[in-house]
Amino acid sequence: MYLGAANEKLNYEHQDGGIISVLLKKIWDLEERDREFDRKLEEIDVLKERLDEAQRRLTNMQELEYRLEKAEERIRMLENRVDNNKENKSAAMKVVDTNGTHDTTDIGSSSRFSIRRAVSNMESRQTEMGDKIAELMYFKNRVQTALKLTATINRKRTVTRKAAFTAMYYSAPVSITPGRSLQFDRVDYNEGNAYDKKTGIFTCPISGTYFFYTNIISMFHAGSIQTEIVLEGQGKGRTHANKVDNHAQGSTAASLHCDAGQRVWVQAVYGSQTWGEMLSSFTGVLMWQDETATNSN
């Protein structure tokens, strides 16, 4: 009788211990998701700052274009004034160079002196306006050079074909094989359909500069895990998650130049299992294409 009661008590304690373990795991999962949410918020803040910076640059370029237009108007106005001054000077000098009389009108020496002084002042103003025109032309050339450079940079970074994806493991746990690609089974975004979830491989649709990021979670009972971002068989960045009493996380990112048709994937270096529930993921995006890039068929 007493032995049966003792066994029953042990069974209850064992069941309670199992429930507590499950609850603790759920709590950890919720905390990890909360941390992941915070990381996403930080990424959003970074993107917002980049967008604000791009808007400021656009505003600056618009201001430069406005100032260039005003400078050209100022140059035209000064050039017209210089032409008028030349005509006035020529007319005044004709009067001064006469013998002092012009038909019935006598021009005295004081009048001739006043005219010469006026001509001298016009010459001084003409020189000043010439300097202003040269200064404005220098400014105009600098603005035009800046605008041409910006147009060239923008042309080189134009994206005529979009390519971006985010894939993750939804199931958990997930078995992996060293040397094989990780086939993330949930694709949340696949602009351009360049990522194949059946193979886990992203095929670059156009030559350009791409950005890739991966985050991998290790199983607490399955040991350490290491993965890498691979471009056509060459490792470009590794993740590592140690064996600990609980889950561990490893992540890496790489900016790569890829030719059209080249393939990028995440593969296991060693380890046997990873954790899903959207905690292990793979992301890639085309940042800008090459100036002479052509699409891959």
Do 81 and 194 reside in the same domain of the chain?
Answer: no
Instruction: For 195-241, write each residue's pLDDT tens digit.
Output: 999 999 999 999 999 999 999 888 777 678 899 999 999 999 999 88
Instruction: For 10-33, write each residue's pLDDT tens digit.
Output: 455 555 556 666 666 666 766 676
Do 148 and 27 reside in the same domain of the chain?
Answer: yes
Instruction: Provide mean pLDDT across the span 174-181.
Output: 91
Q: Is 237 helix (H, G, I), strand (E, B) or coil?
A: strand
> In which band, very low, low, confident or very high, does the pLDDT at 87 lie, cut at 50, 70 and 90?
low
Mean pLDDT across the chain: 74
DSSP for 184-200, written as a single string: --EEEEEETS-EETTTT
Decide the pairing of beta strands 208-218 and 105-106. unpaired
Give the H/E segment covering residue 115.
Answer: helix 109-156
Q: Check if the beta carbon of residue 183 is closer than 8 Å to that of residue 199.
A: yes
Look at residue 107 in the predicted model and tell me its pLDDT: 47
The last residue of one of the domains, among 115, 140, 156, is: 156
Contacts with 201 (C-beta within 8 Å, 6 or more apart), sequence order: 181, 195, 263, 264, 265
Instruction: Provide mean pLDDT across the span 112-137.
Output: 64
Do 140 and 247 reside in the same domain of the chain?
Answer: no
Q: Check if the beta carbon of residue 197 is closer than 8 Å to that of residue 183.
A: yes
CA–CA distance, 280 with 293 (Å, rounded to integer)? 32
The total number of structural domains in the chain stands at 2
Is 79 or 207 the better-scoring residue by pLDDT? 207
Burial class of 224 by CB neighbour count within 10 A (0 to 12, 13 to 18, 19+):
middle
Q: Is the peptide bond before 173 cis (omega within 30 degrees of 0)?
A: yes
Taking each helix axis from N to C end, the angle separating 109-156 and 2-96, rounded to the nearest 10 degrees, works out to 150
Q: Is 255 helix (H, G, I), strand (E, B) or coil?
A: strand
Do 91 and 177 reside in the same domain of the chain?
Answer: no
Instruction: For 194-203, write each residue's pLDDT tens digit.
Output: 999 999 999 9
What percentage of the chain exceeds 70 in pLDDT?
A: 46
Do 179 and 293 reside in the same domain of the chain?
Answer: yes
The last residue of one of the domains, among 156, 179, 205, is: 156
Dig out the tokens for 292 from the structure.
């002479």
Number of CB atoms found within 10 A of residue 196's CB: 18
Look at residue 91 in the predicted model and tell me its pLDDT: 60
The last residue of one of the domains, among 107, 126, 156, is: 156
Burial class of 62 by CB neighbour count within 10 A (0 to 12, 13 to 18, 19+):
exposed
Do 150 and 205 reside in the same domain of the chain?
Answer: no
